[in-house]
Amino acid sequence: MNDKVIVVPESDIPMREVPWGRTKVLVGKGEKAESSGFMFKITEYMPGHSHEGHTHTQDEVIFVLSGRGITELAEGKREVVPGDLVFVPAHVRHAIYNSNAEPLRAVIVKSPPDA
């Protein structure tokens, strides 16, 4: 656990490939900016890809930085655009689809962080 304020330039953290695109964790368990309370990452959903319906044991916030996509809600599907925030309570099924020509880039915050 960190006991001091630190600065982590986003450019210092490499993206890693995931089935729906790329992601990097900036704050979380075992990271340079370590936290046992939450995870902060940047994810890019690549064109034509999706993060199929799934659930988490923690709350999740998805804040869209750029691009466009579709998210699934209990009421149906809804387009998300830059500036939209999607709040997903723990244990609620959700999904993100990117059927557009550019990546959908988002900040993801989970609390507590993934194990």
Q: Is pTM beyond 0.85 here?
A: yes
Q: Report domain extents, the chain.
A: 10-111
Signed CA dihedral, 89, 94, 99, 104: sign only: positive
pLDDT in tens, the chain (115 residues): 567 899 999 999 999 999 999 999 999 998 989 998 999 999 999 999 998 889 999 999 999 999 999 998 878 899 999 999 999 999 999 999 998 999 999 999 999 987 6
Tokens standing for residue 35 = 């936290």
| Cα 113 versus chain centre, distance | 12
CB-based contact 114:76 (threshold 8 Å): no
9 contacts: CB under 8 Å, gap ≥ 6:
none
| Cβ partners under 8 Å of residue 74, min gap 6 | 92
**Homologous superfamily of the 10-111 domain (CATH):** Jelly Rolls (2.60.120.10)
What pLDDT does residue 15 have?
97
From the list 100, 112, 106, 111, the residue with the least C-alpha distance to 41 is 106
Q: Are 100 and 47 in contact (CB under 8 A)?
A: yes
